[in-house]
């Protein structure tokens, strides 16, 4: 197996097909990163909101006197 | 007893806890495979004698299209299981599969379009394969829209499961489109029953990327389903405990 291009500049140009190839890869990897990051952010947001509600519930418990 | 595992599958909590240790493995495996295959396909696989370097788009176009279709199966089968056995978890899987499938279909359409320009001389052609993939994209969008169109969770799940099943008719059309119609799109490169029309030096990085995409798909489907489980079970004790545990660690 060997590197198919003579230089890095040659690799980027890909005999004129460079813009097509690199644009395709860039779009694909952007989507893959988004797919991976979005559920992680959603989980973070869920935990944050849930913690807020837990605090609210505790506060109302204290206010109503069910917790000393 | 033999069916116990099947009933457990209906339990979101069991699923959530069971899949936790899988995540780092799937993440490592899919990233390693995708990065290696991308470098291999871009720099080390030989150029195509007819298409030159533009063919290197195949290494992302084909895996994305495979997963767009496989994702539809997963979505439709989950919907069917949810409808038949009235289980909650399959509906959560179905809902999570829709946006992932939509994005992968989008990737295969866009990369196909970019590949078409230097190869066919056009960005878009209303050819059978491309049009049926576009319909797949709209089916996925329809699933997302339908999920949000109902006030009641149950109604939304049932309606979108029916849409997913009806949309199944499009799948064999996509597969067979290159054989049934005279199209611009090239016929299948990888065949399981006969010899593939692609040289091993180009095939191996492609297979590696396909496996990498499958692992990646499994990973993001799990991650999305797990968030959906937390959202729908947010009033249960186990989710409450989980949130408190995260709180303590932070």
CA atoms within 13 A on the CB side of B115: 25
Nearest-angstrom CA–CA distance, B199 and B195: 10
A-B contacts (CB, under 8 Å): 102
Q: Residue window 2-31, chain B: list those with CB within 8 Å of chain A.
A: none
Per-residue CA distances from B234 to A43, B25, B132, B246 (Å) = 12, 27, 39, 14
The verdict on B247 touching A (C-beta cutoff 8 Å) is yes
**Which residue in the set B38, B54, B220 is minimally distant from A17, CB to CB?**
B54
| Helix, strand or coil, per DSSP, at residue A36 | helix
Angle at B47 between CA B122 and CA B202, to 5 degrees: 105
Name chain B contacts of A51, Cβ cutoff 8 Å: 243, 247
Residue B137 in contact with residue B106, Cβ under 8 Å?
yes
More reliable by pLDDT, B127 or B2 = B127
Q: For residue B247, what is the nearest residue in chain A, using CA coordinates? A: A51
Tell me the whole-structure pTM to 2 decimals. 0.92
The pLDDT > 90 percentage for chain B reads 72
**Which residue in the set A3, A21, A31 is minimally distant from B53, CB to CB?**
A21
Sign, CA torsion B165/B5/B88/B215: negative
Residue B104 in contact with residue B60, Cβ under 8 Å?
no
ipTM of the complex: 0.91
More reliable by pLDDT, B20 or B8 = B20
- Show me where the domains of chain B are located: 26-240
Q: Hey, what are B183's tokens?
A: 């199209």
Q: For residue A7, what is the nearest residue in chain B, using CA coordinates? A: B43
**In this predicted model, what pLDDT tens digit does every residue of A17-58 receive, in sequence order?**
999 999 999 999 999 999 999 999 999 999 999 989 888 888
The verdict on B117 touching A (C-beta cutoff 8 Å) is yes
**In this predicted model, what pLDDT tens digit does every residue of B36-56 receive, in sequence order?**
999 999 999 998 888 889 999
Residues 6+ apart with CB under 8 A from B218: B26, B30
Using the predicted structure, report yes or no on whether residue B222 has a pLDDT greater than 80: yes
φ, ψ of residue B52 to 5 degrees: the values are 70, -135
């Amino acid at each position: 197996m060997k590197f198919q291009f003579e230089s890095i500049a040659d690799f980027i140009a890909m005999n004129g097909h460079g813009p097509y190839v690199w644009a395709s890869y860039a779009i694909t990897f952007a989507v893959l990163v988004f797919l991976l990051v979005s559920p992680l952010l959603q989980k973070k947001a869920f935990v944050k909101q849930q913690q807020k509600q837990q605090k609210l519930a505790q506060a109302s418990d204290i206010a109503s006197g069910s917790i000393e | 007893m033999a069916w116990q595992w099947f009933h457990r599958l209906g339990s979101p909590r069991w699923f959530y806890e069971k899949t936790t240790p899988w995540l780092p493995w799937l993440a490592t495996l899919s990233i390693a495979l995708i990065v290696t295959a991308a470098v291999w396909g871009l720099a080390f696989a030989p150029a195509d004698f007819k298409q030159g370097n533009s063919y290197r788009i195949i290494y992302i176009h084909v895996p994305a299209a495979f997963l767009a279709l496989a994702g539809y199966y997963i979505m439709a089968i989950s919907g069917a299981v949810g409808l038949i056995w009235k289980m909650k978890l399959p509906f959560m899987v179905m809902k999570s599969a829709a946006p992932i499938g939509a994005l992968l279909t989008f990737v295969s359409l866009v990369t196909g379009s970019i590949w078409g320009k230097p190869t066919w001389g056009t960005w878009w052609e209303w050819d059978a394969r491309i049009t049926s993939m576009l319909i797949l994209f709209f089916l996925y969008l329809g699933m997302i829209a339908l999920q949000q169109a109902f006030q009641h969770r149950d109604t939304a799940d049932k309606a979108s499961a029916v849409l997913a099943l009806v949309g199944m008719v499009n799948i064999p059309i996509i597969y067979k489109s290159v054989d049934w119609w005279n199209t611009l799109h090239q016929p299948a490169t990888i065949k399981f029953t006969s010899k593939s029309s692609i040289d091993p030096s180009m095939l191996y990085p492609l297979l590696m990327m396909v496996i990498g995409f499958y692992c990646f798909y499994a990973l993001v489907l799990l991650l999305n389903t797990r968030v959906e489980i937390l959202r729908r079970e947010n009033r249960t004790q186990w989710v409450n405990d989980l949130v408190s545990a995260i709180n303590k660690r932070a």
